[in-house]
Amino acid sequence: MELSVVNIAGQDTGRKVELNDAIFAIQPNEHAIYLDVKQFLANNRQGTAKSKQRNEVSGSTRKLKKQKGTGGARAGSIKNPEFRGGGRVFGPVPRDYSFKLNKKLKRLARRSAFSVKAANGVIKVIEDFTFEAPKTKDFVAIVKNLNLTHGNFLFVLNDANENVLLSARNLQKVSVMRATDVNTYAIMKAHDVVLSESSVEVINQMLNLN
């Protein structure tokens, strides 16, 4: 698969890059995408939800009433979960939601995600660019020149250019990351994926592994 390379003004440079069919033109494995996205979201969960059980709430532990003869249910203390202000039964406790996936499955998921975007025709290739200083308006101009007007956008660069990262940091619908850091969640979340010319070779080498 070949795509034309455009410059930051959105004009065709006359050059083309080859996208590896083993990465951008496979039959997408939807279950692999699901598992990789699920892992990404699970690994980012704090897992700090916590409620107090009956041994943790404040209150007296004296027996409220005698065990028998009152006609009502027995009650041990004011901290009984059935009473207002008592502990919570089976409440959440801090836990780790993360889990592991095989490397081959994660590569398959990223290849599948790229193939989905390529099949939808929303992958663009832009020549390598940099900014001398962080300027959000310059990055916004590039977005407009590329006709990126719908949804979220993912810019994949060969290396982390600090000025480019800072220029896009305040834009809510734009994500910028290095080719080595790209993940399935970011690809699937983006409506359009913009690859820098040099990042294509990095992706081809990184994901064209069995």
pLDDT tens column, 103-120: 999 999 999 999 999 999
Identify which of 17, 37, 33 has the alpha carbon closest to the alpha carbon of residue 199.
17
Contact 68, 130 (CB under 8 A): no
**Is the model's pLDDT at 209 over the cut of 70?**
no
pTM assigned to the model: 0.83
Q: For residue 68, what pLDDT is reported?
A: 93
- Percent of the chain having pLDDT more than 90? 64
Q: For residue 122, what pLDDT is reported?
A: 92
29: tokens are 């494995």
User: What architecture is domain 2-46+98-207?
Assistant: 3-Layer(aba) Sandwich (3.40)
Q: Where are the domains of the chain?
A: 2-46+98-207, 51-91
125: tokens are 């290739």
pLDDT in tens, 29-83: 999 999 999 999 999 999 999 999 999 999 999 999 999 999 999 989 999 999 9
Q: For residue 150, what pLDDT is reported?
A: 77
Query: Which pLDDT band holds residue 210 (cuts at 50, 70, 90)?
Result: low
Burial 49-62 (b: 16+ CB within 10 A, else e): eeeebbeeeeeeee
